[in-house]
Chains A and B, each alone.
Chain A
Amino acid sequence: DAGITQSPRHKVTETGTPVTLRCHQTENHRYMYWYRQDPGHGLRLIHYSYGVKDTDKGEVSDGYSVSRSKTEDFLLTLESATSSQTSVYFCASVATGGTGAGEQFFGPGTRLTVL
């Protein structure tokens, strides 16, 4: 599974609390992504990173922030969790060269419930 892990795997929290999810990869991949998965919507990109300290927004970035201080770690923060952020969160990474997009390897997912 390309050495990509997520923590925690499950979390229940209350509305208004901050939450940080961690993605860790051991493949020295340059690109990393955070997605959320909801029924009927597939996988939607929240934020992505194209290198250390280089991040950008995806299609559903409102209410989320990210940080990448090391190649191997990509953190997703919900500053003030809301019930609409209840979802399964997947991170992914890819080592892409100069030929464009390549296979994204996914982590095992984090199931987040906001009460």
Chain B
Amino acid sequence: GENVEQHPSTLSVQEGDSAVIKCTYSDSASNYFPWYKQELGKRPQLIIDIRSNVGEKKDQRIAVTLNKTAKHFSLHITETQPEDSAVYFCAASTGGNKLVFGAGTILRVKS
């Protein structure tokens, strides 16, 4: 079955710097790759997603890139702000409209 690995597990950046989180997946049939943000004590919420027919997608300060050949995808956050501090999860689709999630990255933005 699908396996998703996410790195790093924790990331500290200075306010205004960029943050990059990387994920690799194992199933070449996966075709949907969402990123979720979870603030402390809250539910995960989708921040951006990408499908396998697209190489890059941007939404204001966040972007996701996908390399199908290497089977990895990355989340890029530019001009980080304190409110970006949260846990970020990547995921990859698998059969039956299911998702397999990475273990998560704790992002801390220091002001």
Contacts and interface: CB of A to CB of B under 8 A. Distances in A.
State yes or no: do A and B come from one complex.
Answer: yes
Interface of A: 1, 31, 33, 40-45, 48, 50, 56, 58-59, 90, 94, 96, 100-104, 106-109
A41 B100 CA distance: 11
Given A42-B101, A106-B44, A56 B89 contact: no
A100 B103 contact: no
Interface of B: 1, 6, 9, 31-32, 34, 42-46, 49, 51, 89, 91, 93, 96-104
A94 B97 contact: yes
Contacts of A96: 97
Nearest to B33: A101
A31 B97 contact: yes
Contacts of B100: 45, 59
B59 to A, nearest CB: 13
Given A1-B43, A59-B1, A90-B43, A101 B93 contact: yes
A100 B104 contact: no
A50 B97 contact: yes
A104 B99 contact: yes
Residue from A44, A104, A109 whose CB has the most chain B CB atoms within 10 Å: A104
A31 B96 CA distance: 10
24 contacts: A1-B43, A31-B97, A40-B103, A42-B6, A42-B101, A42-B103, A43-B44, A45-B100, A48-B96, A50-B97, A94-B97, A100-B31, A100-B51, A100-B97, A101-B31, A101-B32, A101-B93, A101-B98, A103-B49, A104-B46, A106-B44, A106-B45, A108-B43, A109-B43
Contacts of B1: 59
A50 B96 contact: yes
Which of B43, B49, B103: most chain A CB closer than 10 A? B43
Contacts of B45: 106
Given A103-B34, A106-B44, A58 B98 contact: yes
